[in-house]
Chain A
Amino acid sequence: MEERMSLIVFSGTVDKLMAASILTTGAAAMGMEVEVFLTTWGLEAFRKDAYKTNQRVSKEFEDFAPVMMEQMQVKQVPSWMDNFKDARDIGAVKIYACSMTMELFGIKLADLEPIVDDVTGVATFVERARAGRITLFI
């Protein structure tokens, strides 16, 4: 088995999703198997087309939001969704939706971006993360 990196993405703000997507890309580039578990706001951010209008930034840094967004445009930085898609192209990346959040917010797999592979429960995720080298919570 390739070394695994497990990522729990709880956050739904652009700044944190960006970090999550770059870590995913970096790990995939280095040949790790990456498993992303989307929960709560992270899952919300993967609703179909939500990424196109998501401008949220962490509250404590909302004053930086305009500058950050502007710089990303100016420097043509790929978006977090672009990074997740690129990561899948170059490596083994699986993206799972948290079953509990799906229930809570009444979301079905069909409501999510096609990049989300499947729904899983927390126990499955923990078992798989246990076998991994790196586990992160974002």
Chain B
Amino acid sequence: MTMPQEITIDKEIDARGSFCPGPLMELIRGVKVLPVGGVLAVLSSDPGSAKDIPAWIAKAKHEFIGAFPQQGYTRFVMRKLH
């Protein structure tokens, strides 16, 4: 699955090689400093985070744009809604 063409990533965090809860923590820290409406991507190779990240985004009521698998990692993309 590829990312929709019209989405621009404002900030990308590379959390590959870090384990649960590392990538999720990086996402949360990234969201804190992101302006509302901003799009954040986190790169993660950790399987636990693959579940945790969408769960957190839903819980925090932001927009989960999608999880885009790449070679050996996944790019998780979200938009800050509030």
Contacts and interface: CB of A to CB of B under 8 A. Distances in A.
A90 B25 CA distance: 8
Given A31-B59, A31-B60, A77 B25 contact: no
Interface in B1-22: 17-22
A89 B18 CA distance: 18
Contacts, number: 30
Chain A interface category by residue count: 10 to 19
Contacts of A59: none
Interface string A75-103: 11110000100100110000000000000
A78 B19 CA distance: 9
A115 B25 CA distance: 19
Contacts of A26: 21, 24, 52
Nearest to A24: B21
Interface in A90-135: 90
Interface of A: 22, 25-26, 29-31, 75-78, 83, 86, 89-90
18 contacts: A22-B20, A22-B21, A25-B21, A25-B25, A29-B24, A29-B25, A29-B52, A29-B56, A30-B55, A30-B59, A31-B59, A75-B17, A75-B19, A76-B17, A83-B21, A89-B29, A90-B25, A90-B29
